[in-house]
Amino acid sequence: MTKHIFVTGGVVSSLGKGLTSASIGMLLEKRGLSVRMQKLDPYINVDPGTMSPYQHGEVYVLDDGSETDLDLGHYERFTNSPLTKDCNFTTGQIYQSVIEKERLGEYLGQTVQVIPHITNEIKSAISCLAGDDVDVVITEIGGTAGDIESQPFLEAIRQYALDVGKENCLYIHLTLVPYLKAAAELKTKPTQHSVGQLRQIGIQPDILICRCERSLGEDERRKIALFCNVPVEAVIEEKDKDFSIYEVPMSLVDHGLDQLIVSKLGISTGEPDLESWRAFCHRLRNPKHEISIAVVGKYAEHKDAYKSIYESLDHAGIENRAQIRIQRIHSEAVERDGPERVLSGVDGVLVPGGFGERGIEGKVEAVRFARERNIPYFGICLGMQCAVVEFARTVVGLEGANSTEFEKDNPAPVICLLEEQEGVVHKGATMRLGAQPALLAPDSLALAAYGREEISERHRHRYEFNNAFRQPFASHGMQVTGTSPDGSLVEIVEVAGHPWFVAVQFHPEFKSRPTAPHPLFIGFVGAAVRRHLGGAEK
Ligand code: GLN
């Protein structure tokens, strides 16, 4: 019988529920269990794909083309749980599905209500991940206990234990225990109130994980235990990690969380096998070089907007024994101050994906700077399209070349709309999305990095390299080194004679793992380390 863990959050948002859930998933897998991960988001948007990165950070894309919340990125980076569209539901999707059923007459004229219709729909979203081959499903509830919009989700997880038996369910609540400087004390009251909210709707948390800046003392743990009605050993501290998020699982192990979870759920497993993770954390803490990589984007100030890119750089850095100082550069700053001012001294330049015209010219300038000065360049999706535009204008001599996304009638539309995208009006889930195969050309940096000819990578775009320009590009030194298997779509371009200039139409950052970094990121960071060490070239 599949066991269920429900992770809720309280006091404030941004406590790192996703990271904590992912860490729990990883620790259970290290005990040999088969785990599935899921996020339920109380907001009403039907798909996270159309939400602003300013508010929600990056949109994380799965193999099956689902556009999901960025917490699913944590799940994939920490666990082997296969993720599909069934792993992320929003209130909007739940209601949409209930309303569709109502329109089809499936409720036989009954009054359709939050309880039981919406809650049943939520419960079936949870149970669809359970199965004979699954030991534990971890369901994270977005938002904070007490939010109006979370209510139906909390009600559904409360009912879930009635349906499958309390012994098969575990409620973990993540809260904040703030330190008040003026009082020189950790304060437990917000946690008491937050647990109070949960108990009001009938959920008694089994385990409390307390985020804190300073370690909890025995007194505070006892106080929290007493007021929140949990045994003292179920009050687990999760202190802020100043170094790396990848140290979170080890600190949870040190506080006994994984042992507590399996014993409370009555699962018998051996001790977790943490050897390789420990070795990874050791490498992480002991880099041999320090390099700087500029990530030039439109949302530079928002640290979650390019989350998977930053993580992938870190993974490849650890592999190359390099601590990476990521410089988040605003593309409009490149326009305003010039690339020399903002980019000089960096060991590599990366332009990530994006939509819309703002800051485009700054990205094109950044590409030119990297290309002309032999600085390793990695272009991803829009970053590839900007590389093509720059090369067209500067090297091929196509004045005014652009993507039709930014200038519909330009003299050299080197990037243009995919034919199947003409006439699409709905914004959600209508792009070229998800895993697509591609073939790599011999003698390319891409082939050298992957070490195999056939690859599969995730996509999320509408525009594409315009094949009418392949020939002039090739004769000027920009090679197509990856295409769709039928050769019709350009997936990768490289600049001949440059130390490392690779630009890809897909999103490799969604497939990088801490202990299995993505080959292209390894290649890029490796080239940046070489440039750094050969400092004289700069
Ligand atoms: N805006 C571009 C397109 O739609 C690039 C998309 C992206 O970078 N994800 O093709």
Instruction: For residues 403-425, give the mean pLDDT.
Output: 82
Backbone angles phi, psi at 525, to 5 degrees: -65, -35
3-state DSSP helix/strand/coil percent for the chain, to nearest 5? 40, 20, 35
pLDDT at 52 over 80: no
Q: What is the pLDDT of residues 16-33, one digit of tens each?
A: 899 999 999 999 999 999
505 CA to centre of ligand 1 in angstroms: 8
Q: Considering only CA atoms, which residue is closest to atom 6 of ligand 1?
A: 461
Report yes or no: 285 and 318 within 8 Å, Cβ to Cβ. no
Q: Considering only CA atoms, which residue is closest to atom 9 of ligand 1?
A: 353
Of the given ranges (44-48, 198-202, 247-251, 513-517), which has the lowest mean pLDDT?
Answer: 44-48
Choose one of 295, 461, 507 to mutate for the ligand 1 pocket test, by most ligand atoms within 8 angstroms of C-beta: 461
Closest to 115 measured CA to CA, from 72, 59, 76, 155 = 155
Q: Considering only CA atoms, which residue is closest to atom 1 of ligand 1?
A: 355
Question: What is the arrangement of strands in the sheet containing 3-9, beginning at the earlier edge strand?
Answer: 88-90, 35-41, 136-141, 3-9, 169-176, 207-212, 235-239
State the pLDDT confidence band at 537, using cuts at 50, 70 and 90: very low
pLDDT confidence of residue 428 = 55
461 CA to centre of ligand 1 in angstroms: 4
Chain mean position to CA 214: 28
Spatial separation of the C-alpha atoms in residues 377 and 370, rounded to whole Å: 6
Catalytic residue among 210, 381, 386, 416: 381
Residue 165 structure tokens: 């038996």
Atom of ligand 1 nearest to the CA of 405: 1
Q: Kindly tell me the burial class for residue 360, based on how many C-beta atoms sit within 10 Å of its own C-beta (0-12, 13-18, 19 or more).
A: buried
Residue 284 structure tokens: 């992480």
pLDDT at 538 over 50: no
Instruction: For residues 190-201, give the mean pLDDT.
Output: 95
Active site residue 381: yes
Q: What is the pLDDT of residues 70-129, one digit of tens each?
A: 999 999 999 999 999 999 999 999 999 999 999 999 999 999 999 999 999 999 999 999
Residues 6+ apart with CB under 8 A from 97: 121
320 CA to centre of ligand 1 in angstroms: 29
pLDDT at 506 over 70: yes
pTM for the predicted model, two decimal places: 0.92
Q: Would you tell me how many other CB atoms lie within 10 Å of the CB of residue 456?
A: 12
Q: What is the pLDDT of residues 222-264, one digit of tens each?
A: 999 999 999 999 999 998 877 789 999 999 999 999 999 999 9
Choose one of 309, 331, 357, 463 to mutate for the ligand 1 pocket test, by most ligand atoms within 8 angstroms of C-beta: 463
Rg (CA), the chain: 25
pLDDT at 10 over 50: yes
Question: What is the arrangement of strands in the sheet containing 463-465, beginning at the earlier edge strand?
Answer: 402-403, 413-417, 463-465
Residue 39 structure tokens: 């996020």
pLDDT at 213 over 50: yes
Spatial separation of the C-alpha atoms in residues 273 and 251, rounded to whole Å: 15
Catalytic residue among 238, 365, 509, 518: 509
Ligand 1 pocket, CB under 6 A: 353-355, 381-382, 385, 405, 460-463
Active site residue 74: no
Three-point CA angle 250, 275, 37, nearest 5°: 55
Choose one of 60, 381, 389 to mutate for the ligand 1 pocket test, by most ligand atoms within 8 angstroms of C-beta: 381
Instruction: For residues 375-383, give the mean pLDDT.
Output: 97
| Dihedral sign computed on CA atoms, order 307, 313, 314, 316 | positive
Q: Considering only CA atoms, which residue is closest to atom 5 of ligand 1?
A: 382
Q: Considering only CA atoms, which residue is closest to atom 7 of ligand 1?
A: 353
Instruction: For residues 415-423, give the mean pLDDT.
Output: 73
pLDDT at 423 over 60: no
* C-alpha to C-alpha distances, 78 to 17, 25, 37, 125, 322, nearest whole angstrom: 13, 7, 11, 22, 21
Closest to 223 measured CA to CA, from 204, 210, 213 = 210
Average pLDDT, the chain: 93
Pairing of the two strands 478-483 and 490-495: antiparallel
396 CA to centre of ligand 1 in angstroms: 23
Report yes or no: 428 and 50 within 8 Å, Cβ to Cβ. yes
Spatial separation of the C-alpha atoms in residues 535 and 229, rounded to whole Å: 60
Instruction: For residues 313-327, give the mean pLDDT.
Output: 95
Longest dimension (CA), the chain: 78
pLDDT confidence of residue 301 = 76
Catalytic residue among 315, 507, 518, 532: 507
pLDDT confidence of residue 305 = 86
Instruction: For residues 253-281, give the mean pLDDT.
Output: 94
108 CA to centre of ligand 1 in angstroms: 44
Of the given ranges (181-185, 362-366, 399-403), which has the lowest mean pLDDT?
Answer: 181-185
State the pLDDT confidence band at 535, using cuts at 50, 70 and 90: low
Three-point CA angle 228, 261, 188, nearest 5°: 25
Of the given ranges (140-154, 382-396, 425-439, 448-462), which has the lowest mean pLDDT?
Answer: 425-439
487 CA to centre of ligand 1 in angstroms: 20
State the pLDDT confidence band at 429, using cuts at 50, 70 and 90: low
* C-alpha to C-alpha distances, 343 to 363, 365, 373, nearest whole angstrom: 12, 10, 11
Q: What is the pLDDT of residues 333-353, one digit of tens each?
A: 999 999 999 999 999 999 999
355 CA to centre of ligand 1 in angstroms: 5
* Backbone φ/ψ region at 422: left (φ over 0), alpha (ψ -120 to 50), beta: beta
Choose one of 462, 464, 489 to mutate for the ligand 1 pocket test, by most ligand atoms within 8 angstroms of C-beta: 462
